[in-house]
Amino acid sequence: MDIQALKSGLIVSCQPVKGGAMDNAVMVVGFALAAIDGGAAGLRVESADYVAAVRKATPRPIIGLIKRDLDDSSVRITPWLEDVEALAAAGADIIAYDATQRPRPVATRVLVDAIHARGRLAMADCSIIADAEQALAEGADIVGSTLAGYTGSVEPTEPDFALIGAMRRLTPYVVAEGNIRTPKQASQALVAGASMVVVGSAITRPEHVTGWFRAALDETVAKAGARWP
């Protein structure tokens, strides 16, 4: 596919909460089609089964990935060669993989080569600028801020605009992803240097969005204390 088709575009990540009420193919396809109706240029979908279901419903570009919880590695995103094969067979146009420099079952260069061998584009999900530098040297087509802050002990709550800007100095093909929860933050990501913006939880995970609102109300009540009516 031509990456230019996603330039300045919104990519909606249709990844339901694992085991949640929306975790089935019908809901994932519904989210994907609704996102397209709203103007999404592309979709990010987890699991070969869900990629295949969405591919049957739309020709729009799909970034595919598979998440695994491994006993011997903290790498979760498309760690195995068979994951690449499954995603390509399911119809993903772009295959995302964890590009962090952590112990892993398959070297990142091998994953990139496998993705290209199947005629797909490789998206490197990065945590720091060194990840992006290595990924590009190994042939990755796109780099993303997906894992910024997620390799530590405390999960981040804000987008890493600095990393996005640093990656843009390396390549024009930069995906802003991770904790983008408002239209303003999405716009800021473009200004910072992103060529594409992925939004997930804020659009397709009502459990998370509900929790944000619930937490805000609880905080207000707690601050008011005895003054609350």
Residue 121's DSSP bridge partners are 94
3-class DSSP assignment, residue 62:
strand
Q: Mean pLDDT, 10 residues at a time, over the chain (229 residues)?
A: 92 97 98 98 98 98 97 96 98 98 97 98 98 98 96 87 98 97 97 98 96 94 77
Give, as one character, the DSSP assignment of residue 89. H
Question: Tell me, what's the pLDDT at 157?
Answer: 87
Give the whole-angstrom CA distance, residue 42 versus residue 103: 31
Topology (CATH level 3) of domain 8-216: TIM Barrel (3.20.20)
Question: Tell me, what's the pLDDT at 76?
Answer: 97
- The alpha carbon dihedral of 25, 176, 126, 110 has a sign of positive
Give, as one character, the DSSP assignment of residue 3. G
Give the whole-angstrom CA distance, residue 118 versus residue 85: 8
Question: Tell me, what's the pLDDT at 62?
Answer: 98
Question: Tell me, what's the pLDDT at 61?
Answer: 98
Question: Per residue in 29-47, is it b (16+ CB within 10 Å) or e — as a string?
Answer: bebbbebbeeebbbbbbbb
Give the whole-angstrom CA distance, residue 25 versus residue 91: 15
What does DSSP say about strands 142-144 and 121-125: parallel, antiparallel, or unpaired?
A: parallel
Tokens for 11, please give them: 């990519």
Question: Tell me, what's the pLDDT at 224?
Answer: 83
Q: Kind and range of the H or E element at 81? A: helix 81-90
* Residue among 64, 41, 61 at smallest CA distance from 51: 64
Give the whole-angstrom CA distance, residue 15 versus residue 62: 12
Predicted model pTM? 0.95
Question: Tell me, what's the pLDDT at 122?
Answer: 98
